[in-house]
């Protein structure tokens, strides 16, 4: 399974993401934002957390227009897997690959703590290993994680079962407690919490690891 | 020529910064304040002949996220 981790100026979870994917058995390459193409044969593109382009204009807005993002969009349109975590989720929302937008946390604080997520659907490679209704512990670290979407968009997400994760105790004001959403084809996941920071008990928890294992297994089997 | 773009969170989208500014103003005794919305102003230096449609396209594609934000363009030649 081949994975690419996109690095923007200001990304700071790129190496953590690479470690999480390598631990799960992926062959990982790092790609720079100025690259116009992904390495041949990439199954999964991971867009890591951080502060791409200093969060100028809006979180993820400049990154979404960078050369590599065109390649990421083409990869997704071909049916490739993509995972955006934290700033990566913001980037995917800004590209339009995922619906909605992330704005400032309702109480304006940067939040850095472990939260409990409820897995809302098992119908995706990302969430299948957990099972619907299970609860996992994953850290958050964000200032703009307050998920917003219009009423029609929210109804579509709910109706299609595309809410991947909800907070059990919403820390940031997100609509409908949404922590992560899936694309229509269920191959793109954006989430504010950091599964790549929860891959070992040595790091305080390993609830993120099954997601990466599941992705690797799905791509190896395909 | 110049254009001034004002970007605001859409009506109905929670504005945490505006709410914080409002509560600070009220706390300072400015009892007349009933609501605060905070946005941003972007000024563009443009080549002569740039049209309002060009600036609208910039807003739609980058300067505003129309999922949550509205924008207004003021052309000043």
Q: Which residues span the domain enclosing B16?
A: 2-76
* CATH code assigned at B8: 3.30.1280.10
User: Does the beta-carbon distance from B65 to A65 stay under 8 Å?
Assistant: no
Task: Give the pLDDT confidence score for residue B55 in this predicted structure.
Answer: 98
A33, A59, A196, A219: the active-site residue? A196
Find out whether A197 and A127 touch, Cβ atoms under 8 Å.
no
**Taking CB atoms and an 8 Å cutoff, what residues of chain A touch B14?**
103, 106, 146, 148, 173
Find out whether A4 and A29 touch, Cβ atoms under 8 Å.
yes
For B7, phi and psi rounded to 5 degrees? -115, 130
| Number of structural domains found in chain B | 1
| Ordered domains of chain A (ranges, CATH) | 2-221 (3.40.50.880)
pLDDT digits 0-9 by tens, A42-85: 999 999 999 999 999 999 999 999 999 999 999 999 999 999 99
Task: Give the pLDDT confidence score for residue A123 in this predicted structure.
Answer: 98
Residue A155: exposure state from Cβ atoms within 10 A (0-12, 13-18, ≥19): exposed
Task: Give the pLDDT confidence score for residue B77 in this predicted structure.
Answer: 65
pTM metric for this prediction: 0.94
Burial pattern A15-51, b for ≥16 Cβ within 10 A else e, equals ebbbbbbeebebebebbebebeebeeebbbbbbbbbb
pLDDT digits 0-9 by tens, A158-216: 999 999 999 999 999 999 999 999 999 999 999 999 999 999 999 999 999 999 999 99
Specify the residue for token string 């979404």.
Answer: A64
- Check whether A10 has a pLDDT greater than 90: yes
Q: Which of B61, B63, B68 sits opposite A103 (nearest CB)?
A: B68
Mean pLDDT of B8-26: 93
Task: Enumerate residues 90 to 119 of chain A having a beta carbon within 8 A of any beta carbon in chain B.
Answer: 93-94, 99-101, 103-108
pLDDT range class, residue B52, cuts 50, 70, 90: very high
Rg (CA), chain B: 16
Q: Which of A61, A94, A108 sits opposite B16 (nearest CB)?
A: A108
**Taking CB atoms and an 8 Å cutoff, what residues of chain A touch B68?**
101, 103, 148
- Check whether B24 has a pLDDT greater than 80: yes
């Amino acid at each position: 399974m081949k994975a690419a981790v996109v690095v923007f100026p200001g990304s700071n979870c790129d190496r953590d993401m690479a470690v999480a994917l390598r631990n799960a058995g992926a062959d990982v390459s790092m790609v720079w934002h100025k690259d116009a193409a992904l390495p041949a044969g990439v199954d999964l593109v991971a867009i890591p957390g951080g502060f791409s382009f200093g969060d100028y204009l809006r979180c993820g807005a400049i990154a979404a227009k960078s050369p590599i993002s065109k390649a990421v969009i083409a990869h997704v349109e071909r049916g490739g897997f993509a995972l955006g975590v934290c700033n990566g989720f913001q980037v995917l929302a800004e590209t339009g690959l995922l619906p909605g937008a992330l704005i400032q946390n309702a109480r304006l604080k940067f939040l850095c703590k472990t939260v409990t997520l409820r897995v809302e659907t098992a119908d995706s490679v990302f969430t299948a290993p957990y099972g619907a209704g299970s609860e996992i512990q994953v850290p958050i670290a964000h200032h703009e994680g307050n998920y917003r979407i219009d009423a029609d968009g929210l109804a579509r997400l709910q109706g299609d079962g595309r809410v991947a994760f909800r907070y059990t105790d919403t820390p940031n004001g997100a609509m409908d407690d949404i922590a992560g959403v899936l694309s229509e084809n269920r191959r793109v996941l954006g989430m504010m919490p950091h599964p790549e920071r929860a891959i070992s008990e040595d790091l305080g928890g390993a609830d993120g690891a099954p997601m990466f294992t599941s992705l690797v297994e799905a791509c190896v089997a395909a | 020529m110049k254009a001034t773009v004002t970007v605001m969170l859409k009506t109905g989208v929670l504005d945490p910064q505006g709410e914080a500014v409002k509560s600070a103003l009220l706390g300072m005794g400015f009892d007349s304040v009933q609501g605060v919305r905070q946005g941003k102003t972007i000024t563009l230096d443009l080549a002569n002949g740039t049209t309002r449609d060009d600036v609208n396209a910039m807003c739609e594609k980058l300067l505003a996220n129309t999922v949550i934000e509205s924008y207004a363009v003021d052309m000043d030649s």
